[in-house]
Amino acid sequence: MLPKTKEEFAKYIDSTILRADATEHEIVMLCQEAIKNNFAAVCVNPCNIELCKNLLQNSKINIATVVGFPLGANISNVKFYEAGMALLAGATELDMVINIAKLKDRNYSYVEKEISEIVRLSNEAKSIVKVIIETALLTETEKIEACKIVSNSGADFIKTSTGFAKTGATIEDVELMRKYCDPSVKIKASGGIKTVDFALKLIEAGAERIGTSSGVELMNNFA
Catalytic status, residue 159: yes
207: three-class secondary structure by DSSP: coil
Q: Name the active-site residue from 159, 173, 186, 201.
A: 159
- Find out whether 122 and 95 touch, Cβ atoms under 8 Å: no
> Is 166 considered catalytic here?
no
Question: Pseudo-torsion of CA 37, 41, 43, 44, nearest 10°?
Answer: 80
Contact 196, 223 (CB under 8 A): yes
Cα–Cα distance, 75 to 220 (Å, whole number)? 41
Distances (CA, A) of 50 to 5, 79, 85, 142: 32, 19, 11, 36
Residue of 95, 102, 143, 173 with catalytic role: 95
Residue of 79, 130, 186, 188 marked catalytic: 188
Cis peptide bond upstream of 46, omega within 30: no
Is 95 in the active site? yes
Catalytic residues: 95, 159, 188
